């Protein structure tokens, strides 16, 4: 079965550097096969005999810490789950720039009582909640996001964002490997 691994916060802005070889090795050591890394920011496509587990994510986190000294959260998704999250993005029709349309992937369900900031609070930005995902359109750029930090703290620790351009690259790699 195909899967996608998303590593939080590595190789962004010159900090938390992890070599692609170390990243691939962490996945192989965790028992995954046919591992391919994409771009430089912690994107992996792999094959596995079974669905990836929280234990697999913990093993990858430990291997990265041992090989590079970097402790990073890991989100593992089956191909089907990744495709479902990507297809469910309600802001695709709103966006005119894939680098400013972001999907935050989660390794957990959102708290039942979490509420997205309203469009009026964020204008011109928009945030929508999904199943194990948060969708964000930031027309002024992600670095100028107006989404409050209190909202993101409630989301939980193991969450990692990818812009739509990267999501499309990962989908293309999954398609290539079918």
Q: What does pLDDT average to in each consecutive run of 10 residues of the chain (178 residues)?
A: 92 76 93 92 94 95 90 94 98 97 95 91 96 96 91 88 97 95
Two structure tokens written together for 157? 């620790």
3-state secondary structure of 17: coil
pLDDT at residue 141, rounded to an integer? 93
For residue 47, what are the CA distances in angstroms to 10, 30, 64, 86, 87?
22, 12, 19, 19, 21
Among 99, 103, 76, which Cα is nearest to 158's?
Answer: 76
Query: Which domains are seen in the chain, by residue range?
Result: 2-79 (3.30.70.1280), 82-176 (no CATH)
pLDDT at residue 60, rounded to an integer? 95
pLDDT at residue 45, rounded to an integer? 97
**60 vs 66: CA distance, rounded Å:** 10
pLDDT at residue 123, rounded to an integer? 94
**18 vs 68: CA distance, rounded Å:** 6
pLDDT at residue 10, rounded to an integer? 82
Helical (H) or strand (E) element with 102: strand 101-106
**87 vs 44: CA distance, rounded Å:** 19
pLDDT at residue 13, rounded to an integer? 66
Helical (H) or strand (E) element with 62: helix 54-68
């Amino acid at each position: 079965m195909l899967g996608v691994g998303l590593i939080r916060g590595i190789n962004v802005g010159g900090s938390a550097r992890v070599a692609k070889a170390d990243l691939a090795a962490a996945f192989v050591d965790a028992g995954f096969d046919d591992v391919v890394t994409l771009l430089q920011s912690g994107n992996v496509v792999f094959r596995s005999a079974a669905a990836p587990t929280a234990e697999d994510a913990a093993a990858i986190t430990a291997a990265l810490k041992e090989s590079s000294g970097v402790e990073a959260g890991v989100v593992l998704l089956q191909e089907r789950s990744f495709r479902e999250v990507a297809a469910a993005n309600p802001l695709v029709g709103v966006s005119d720039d894939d680098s400013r349309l972001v999907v935050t992937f989660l390794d957990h369900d959102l708290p039942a009582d979490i509420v997205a900031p309203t469009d009026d609070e964020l204008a011109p930005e928009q945030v929508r909640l999904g199943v194990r995902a948060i969708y964000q359109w930031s027309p002024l750029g992600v670095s100028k996001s107006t989404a409050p930090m209190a909202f993101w703290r409630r989301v939980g620790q193991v969450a990692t964002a990818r812009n739509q351009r990267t999501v499309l690259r990962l989908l293309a790699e999954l398609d290539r490997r079918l």
